[in-house]
Amino acid sequence: MSLFARIALSLALAFLYVPIAVLVVYSFNASKLVTVWGGFSTQWYGVLFRDGPLIAAALVSLKVAALSATIAGVLGTCAALALDRHGRFRGRGAYTGLLYAPMVMPEVITGLSLLLLFVGIGLDRGIATLVIAHATFATGFVAVVVGARLKGLDRSLEEAAADLGAAPARVFFGITLPLIAPSVAAGFLLAFTLSLDDLVIASFVSGPGATTLPMRIYSQVRLGVNPEINAASTLLIAAVGLVVLTASWLTGRKGAAV
């Protein structure tokens, strides 16, 4: 690697991590001010754990994330299978577009239009609408992750199973699914964190009693830097780091890579 490339890479990584590091370091700051280091303290974590509304919001978020990631996992896997295994069916281009569009669509549009639909059909806003909204925009991400694995899968494995007398259902559950399972799990985790992270769409489609963690955090950080939020952020970053490690381990495992 040339010196220039090395420097560029180091700067980019520093750019990515310095703000996160600042956040983590100042969550242990005894002082409430950013520029003053008041000594090491875990007091903000104590404040955090006594913050009832914040913990309630976190629980709502976890519930919504688990449900929506499950739906997105099923839908995204189905879509990836359809795109990879059904050949050039009619409307394939439109299908791909419909699948990927929610991934890049500005969240304000997705959020607003989903809310208008829910109001139009008289669906009460709450956990259910949050789950539907998050499943909708996460499906494409799952499809991308699973699709990448399917593309790399030797098609003759499934043919061999059929050749050996396995009916399509047995081929799918005995061969295809176990071989793509790591990517399905990784897709699920991605959908889970996307749901956990979403502020904009949730703000539109949630209702009274269904405040998510990002909504709660947003209402606090609008007022400025808040060490309690730093502490919450640090915990979230640690959790996400763990999830990413798990996911990359899942998708990179040798046995699954053939």
Encoded amino acid at 80, one letter: A
Q: Which residue from 31, 42, 113, 219 is in contact with other proteins, where contact means CB under 8 A?
A: 113
CA–CA distances in Å: residue 98 to residues 43, 79, 143, 237, 253: 48, 11, 12, 32, 31
Nearest-CA neighbor of 68 among 113, 143, 133?
Answer: 133
2 touches other proteins (CB under 8 A): yes
Single residue of 163, 173, 219, 246 touching other proteins by CB under 8 A: 163
**Residue 213 · residue 225 · CB < 8 Å:** no
**Residue choice 42, 86, 124, 173 for contact with other proteins (CB under 8 A):** 86
DSSP 125: P
- Per-residue binding letters, 229-248, with other proteins (x by CB under 8 A): x---x--xx--xx-xxx--x
Would you count residue 59 as binding other proteins (CB under 8 A)?
A: no
Which position among 64, 138, 161, 250 is part of the footprint of other proteins (CB under 8 A)?
161
> Does 146 sit near other proteins (CB under 8 A)?
no
Minimum CB distance to other proteins, residue 242 (Å): 10
- Amino acid identity, position 252: G
- 20, amino acid identity: I
Residues 99 and 137: beta-carbon distance below 8 Å:
no
Q: Which residue has the tokens 């909708």?
A: 136
Beta strands in the chain (DSSP E): none
Which span (19-27, 41-49, 50-58, 62-70) binds other proteins, by CB under 8 A?
19-27
27 binds other proteins (CB under 8 A): no
Question: In this structure, are residues 115 and 205 in contact, taking their beta carbons and an 8 Å threshold?
Answer: yes
Q: Is 190 in the site for other proteins (CB under 8 A)?
A: yes
Residue of the chain from 50, 53, 59, 98 that contacts other proteins (CB under 8 A): 98
Q: Provide the mask over 195-224, with x wherever binding to other proteins is found by CB under 8 A and - wherever it is not.
A: -xx-xx--xx---------x--xx--xx-x
